[in-house]
Structure 1
Amino acid sequence: MAEERRIDWSSLWKKEDWWAFWLGMLLFVLCLATAYGADIMGWVVKSSTWVDVSKAMGPTSKNFAYLGPIGSFVVSWLVLLILTTIGAVAMGWKGGKFAAAFTVIFILTWICWVIGHNAYIAATDPAKAGVPWSLRMTGEAGYIFALILGLIIGNFFKGFANWLKEAAKPEWFIKTAIVLLGAVVGIKAPTIPPEILYNYLFRGLCAIVEAYLIYWALVYWVARRYFGFSREWAAPLASGISICGVSAAIATGGAIRARPVVPVMVASLVIVFAVVELLFLPFLAATFLQHQPLVAGAWMGLAVKTDGAATASGEVVEALILGWNPEYEPLKGWILNAAVTTKIFIDIFIGVWAFILAVVWVYWIERRPGEKVEKVEIWYRFPKFVIGYFLTFVIVAWLTSAAINAYAASLGVSVSELTTEQFKAAYAPFSAAVNEMNSLRRIFFALTFFSIGVISDFSVLRKEGLGRLALVYFVCLFGFIIWIGLAISYLFFHDVHLLFLK
């Protein structure tokens, strides 16, 4: 009988997943202090729609207006540099190289982010912005510029890209951003009737369970039946294509004890195809589903692989739909959250699925006498940043709800009798704190876009041995995964947006 595996506590400071949790929660707590009169993080730089570039950026809080645009940028870079470098060193990365590469990535990303906020590109109301016309893409166009610049560097300046890869960590950046996103969404929860909120989350859970079981089984069957792959290749490939991309492929490879080369090759394909999806799928969704915005958001979570690309796609879809349809402004944050919620339910299930596969491989396929699979493996596979997302969501939702109830009591009325303006006044202190969190979230999102581009080398598809894998991926992804995801998204999120507009 194999000796029971003990918990490796060093993962708390050595694993990227945990560092996304620690970093996200630290920034969350520091920003939350603003709601209680201690504006610690108001210096965080933000960009605004601009015609005059001198007004393109500045500190999030007026309390730090004295820093000016350059001052807020420098402080934001310096603080995030210190925090991320501490994490990098703790995880065993080379601190000096990480710091140098992070600095360049931060500067290039911010340039793209500012360009994307130009009024001719971003303004949703050109006349109000002082320009004759606009592409109406909102400032999130900066994400696309960051992605394109990253792709150019990653594919045409490979020496520079390899140097930047020391700090191009899209999964770390996006997971940290998602921890903060919980607070951004959480502040809106108390303003939504409970029956709508529970309905929304339930639909996300049901959609994921359905899609997961269909996707994985079909991909595994196609890979085995029509392409002749062994179980060692078919299982990680099915997880990579159908679940959460890189994380799922690696988790599955570990669960079935595949050779290291297997999940690595699958992960390479996942990244390349995620970028391909990111370049066109959000625009397709926004164009044809602009009047079913939550369907469009959920579709991104079900169809686009990797946390970074899926969340980024949801952000683009939301920006486009809200830019084209101002009447959907009450849905701000919820279209993106439809993508994130479905993706997070997928992430949550990775640990369970890896454990199931480990049991199947040990007891039925490999049949190694006397060996057992311990339940602690579920914890090792569980994405820790998800804990942060739910913590920030619940904490902000609870605090905001308490503030609203206290405000209503002070007026001698029930919460249901409060006007929209009274609601805003009740949670104004928390709104200021969440604005700072949102500025940080957007920075990490932008870093994610740029980093995805930098690490995406399309020439990887030409390497020996990847041709057949790429063909399976292409056939499954564009043959049925995208379209099943669309059907399920429509089934569960059709007309749900109307509940938010009442």
Structure 2
Amino acid sequence: MGVPPISDATLPIQAAEPARLSEDALAVAIGLGVFALALMSLFGADALGWVATTTVWTDPTVALTTASKAYADLDGLGALVLTYLALTAVLSAAAYALGDDVRTFAIRFTVVFAIAYGAWFLGSWAYLAAVTPADQAKFGVSWSLKLTNEGGYIVALIAGLVIANVFPTFAEWMKSAIRPELYIKIAIVILGAFIAVTMAGKLTLASSLMLRGLAAIVEAYLIYWPVVYLIARKGFGFSREWSAPLASGVSICGVAAAIATGGAIRARPQVPVLVSSLVVVFAVVEVLILPVIAQTFMSHEPLVAAAWMGLAVKTDGAAVAAGGITQSLIQAKAAAEGIDYQPGWMLSVTATVKVFIDVFIGVWAFILAYIWTNHVNPRPGAPKAKLAEIWERFPKFILGFVATFLIALALALGTDAGTSGKLATAIGEANIWRVIFFVLTFFSIGVLSDFRRLWQDGLGKLAAVYLVSLFGFVIWVGFVISWLFFAGIKPPLAS
């Protein structure tokens, strides 16, 4: 095939007792548990308001706070300790269900949590996170990298990379608490509710742009995916096991799609993890570059620019961050020309496009599971798989995502304005847990990425596929599709 597939030695596979439950089942249970606790706010019981969150800061002593003012008596440090204890208890139970040693996991997770949360804290520093000129003025900073407080993901990734490549013995010691697949699956289940509330809050826009948003599905799944797959297979000689998750990671929705595809085709655990690490690195580059390009060349087509962010930038966090930065840059340029766009519309287009892509991750994983079961990797003597076998390969955590999305959307659309406000607040508290799990995921990906070993085993070739596909094809086709469906449509003027 020209380039050999990456070896099993690329990333270590954790040894453990036989699992009592699957990661998918645990992810759904934990994600739905967080969602259910959040919904208790609708009945007057704020069950998650004590969780610690980090706001953008210049004074570190006031950065930590509780999610809800109802717990204002609990200071930021106390909320952080309580968050750590709750998370450790839940994940230690998950470690037991997965066959791990609970005491070992709890000790090492303590270190993982401290570093990962510290990365989120540092990523919320105003010099990294302040986006708009107004934000910079508010915090008294003259410049910023404009990463939003999701810059903590980048800091967490870098911290993990430093540990993996400078302190490999320490990285090896932490391995039992490094579970990126479990953490991201839990986050995705919670994410379903957050996307639903966001979509419901912009229902008029979402409805009017629905057909245009559906174009994202055709573009991402039927155009991007096969082209990237062929580039990986024919151009670089990668095996099907690597080409499919790579195609999903580049063309669909980054980390979530790579993991869903890896589960659907029963790829080795290190395959989606390694692809995810590339997705994160390239998403950072896109967030820093594409909004500037959008402001320079598309300031008079703001919704084209917004849709382009949703189609071109991989991972939900990076896409929404890019949409927010693009909105700020274009609105500032428009204001200088005397045009005052109503805020929120550009970001809503980015989020709406991303919603359609996210919802269909599960459908695409099911299609790939069917193809792999029947044609690519059938069981000996059974070339045509049964429906039960296809279901066995289907990534169940996607069902958790769909469940939280549908329930939250039904609640948002079926309640009055007051209850909808309570729902948005409740899901906002749940979303803090989603952010924490994202930070844990990014840190874990970094710890598992020993570049000396990865380069020996083919990381450079994977990066080449990503580079050629993303910057040579994906972002430009995404721009054409965005132009075809959104050109000429402008946000309403503020008045």
TM-score over 0.5 (shorter chain): yes
Question: Which residue in 2 is equivalent to 1:454?
Answer: 447
Matched, 1:99 2:106: yes
Matched, 1:34 2:41: yes
Question: Which residue in 1 is equivalent to 2:9?
Answer: none
- The one-letter code matched in structure 2 to 1:295 is W
Residues 264 and 370 of structure 1, relative CA distance in 2, 3 Å threshold: closer
Matched, 1:88 2:95: yes
Contact 2:346 2:491 in 1 (8 A): no
C-alpha distance in 2 between matches for 1:211 and 1:341: 10
C-alpha distance in 2 between matches for 1:105 and 1:497: 46
Query: Quick one: which of 194, 197, 200 aligns to 2:206?
Result: 197
Give the match's secondary structure for 2:360: helix
C-alpha distance in 2 between matches for 1:493 and 1:91: 47
- The one-letter code matched in structure 2 to 1:349 is W
Query: Quick one: which of 166, 176, 185 aligns to 2:186?
Result: 176
Q: What are the ranges of 5 or more consecutive residues in structure 2 without an aligned counterpart?
A: 1-17, 249-256, 296-301, 333-341
Question: Which residue in 2 is equivalent to 1:432?
Answer: 425
Contact 2:226 2:247 in 1 (8 A): no
C-alpha distance in 2 between matches for 1:224 and 1:182: 32
C-alpha distance in 2 between matches for 1:120 and 1:362: 50
Deviation at 1:350, TM superposition (A): 1.5
- The one-letter code matched in structure 1 to 2:216 is A
Deviation at 1:157, TM superposition (A): 1.6
C-alpha distance in 2 between matches for 1:64 and 1:372: 57
Question: Which residue in 2 is equivalent to 1:235?
Answer: 240
Which stretch of the first structure deviates more once superposed, 476-485 or 85-94?
476-485
Question: Which residue in 2 is equivalent to 1:7?
Answer: none
Which stretch of the first structure deviates more once superposed, 169-178 or 117-126?
117-126
Contact 2:41 2:47 in 1 (8 A): yes
Identity of aligned residues (%): 34
Residues 490 and 180 of structure 1, relative CA distance in 2, 3 Å threshold: farther
Question: Which residue in 2 is equivalent to 1:257?
Answer: none
C-alpha distance in 2 between matches for 1:456 and 1:353: 27
Query: Quick one: which of 245, 248, 257 aligns to 2:261?
Result: 248
Question: Which residue in 1 is equivalent to 2:254?
Answer: none
Deviation at 1:109, TM superposition (A): 1.9
Give the match's secondary structure for 2:415: helix
Question: Which residue in 2 is equivalent to 1:320?
Answer: 325
Deviation at 1:160, TM superposition (A): 1.6
Matched, 1:383 2:395: yes
Matched, 1:161 2:171: yes
C-alpha distance in 2 between matches for 1:373 and 1:83: 37
Question: Which residue in 2 is equivalent to 1:395?
Answer: 407
Residues 172 and 268 of structure 1, relative CA distance in 2, 3 Å threshold: closer
Question: Which residue in 2 is equivalent to 1:357?
Answer: 372
Contact 2:126 2:136 in 1 (8 A): no
Give the match's secondary structure for 1:46: strand
Question: Which residue in 1 is equivalent to 2:5?
Answer: none
Question: Which residue in 1 is equivalent to 2:438?
Answer: 445
C-alpha distance in 1 between matches for 2:460 and 2:312: 28
Which stretch of the first structure deviates more once superposed, 425-434 or 347-356?
425-434
Contact 1:153 1:160 in 2 (8 A): yes
Question: Which residue in 2 is equivalent to 1:63?
Answer: 70
C-alpha distance in 2 between matches for 1:24 and 1:497: 37
Deviation at 1:275, TM superposition (A): 3.7
C-alpha distance in 1 between matches for 2:273 and 2:199: 38
C-alpha distance in 1 between matches for 2:355 and 2:493: 18
**What are the superposed Cα offsets for residues 260-281 of structure 1, whole Å, 9 maximum, x if unpaired?**
7xx5675465244324313312
Residues 373 and 105 of structure 1, relative CA distance in 2, 3 Å threshold: same
C-alpha distance in 1 between matches for 2:425 and 2:490: 26
C-alpha distance in 2 between matches for 1:147 and 1:495: 39
Residues 174 and 470 of structure 1, relative CA distance in 2, 3 Å threshold: closer
Which stretch of the first structure deviates more once superposed, 341-350 or 82-91?
341-350
Deviation at 1:203, TM superposition (A): 4.4
C-alpha distance in 1 between matches for 2:125 and 2:465: 41
Question: Which residue in 2 is equivalent to 1:480?
Answer: 473
Give the match's secondary structure for 2:178: coil
Query: Quick one: which of 134, 149, 153 aligns to 1:139?
Result: 149
C-alpha distance in 2 between matches for 1:159 and 1:341: 43
C-alpha distance in 1 between matches for 2:190 and 2:382: 45
C-alpha distance in 2 between matches for 1:285 and 1:214: 21
Question: Which residue in 1 is equivalent to 2:339?
Answer: none
Question: Which residue in 2 is equivalent to 1:213?
Answer: 222
Which stretch of the first structure deviates more once superposed, 73-82 or 387-396?
387-396
C-alpha distance in 1 between matches for 2:177 and 2:167: 16
Which stretch of the first structure deviates more once superposed, 326-335 or 310-319?
326-335
Which stretch of the first structure deviates more once superposed, 323-332 or 46-55?
323-332
**What are the superposed Cα offsets for residues 208-231 of structure 1, whole Å, 9 maximum, x if unpaired?**
34433334443554556555x5xx
RMSD of equivalent CA atoms: 3.5
- The one-letter code matched in structure 1 to 2:140 is V
Residues 205 and 454 of structure 1, relative CA distance in 2, 3 Å threshold: farther
Contact 2:220 2:357 in 1 (8 A): no
Deviation at 1:394, TM superposition (A): 2.5
Give the match's secondary structure for 2:222: helix
Residues 494 and 375 of structure 1, relative CA distance in 2, 3 Å threshold: farther
Contact 1:208 1:346 in 2 (8 A): no
Give the match's secondary structure for 1:92: coil
Query: Quick one: which of 15, 21, 25 aligns to 1:18?
Result: 25
Which stretch of the first structure deviates more once superposed, 348-357 or 471-480?
471-480
Give the match's secondary structure for 1:58: strand
Query: Quick one: which of 283, 286, 289 aligns to 2:294?
Result: 289
Contact 1:41 1:436 in 2 (8 A): yes
Deviation at 1:26, TM superposition (A): 0.3
Residues 215 and 460 of structure 1, relative CA distance in 2, 3 Å threshold: farther
C-alpha distance in 2 between matches for 1:464 and 1:400: 48
Deviation at 1:78, TM superposition (A): 0.6
**What are the superposed Cα offsets for residues 394-428 of structure 1, whole Å, 9 maximum, x if unpaired?**
22232233332xxxxxxxxxxxxxxxxxx4x4533
Which stretch of the first structure deviates more once superposed, 452-461 or 435-444?
452-461
C-alpha distance in 2 between matches for 1:273 and 1:40: 37
C-alpha distance in 2 between matches for 1:500 and 1:22: 44
Q: What are the ranges of 5 or more consecutive residues in structure 1 without an aligned counterpart?
A: 1-10, 255-259, 305-309, 405-422
- The one-letter code matched in structure 2 to 1:160 is F
Deviation at 1:114, TM superposition (A): 1.9
- The one-letter code matched in structure 1 to 2:423 is F
Question: Which residue in 2 is equivalent to 1:185?
Answer: 195
Question: Which residue in 2 is equivalent to 1:53?
Answer: 60
C-alpha distance in 2 between matches for 1:116 and 1:468: 30
Residues 488 and 171 of structure 1, relative CA distance in 2, 3 Å threshold: farther
Residues 222 and 455 of structure 1, relative CA distance in 2, 3 Å threshold: same
Contact 2:375 2:383 in 1 (8 A): no
Contact 1:192 1:500 in 2 (8 A): no
Contact 1:122 1:141 in 2 (8 A): yes
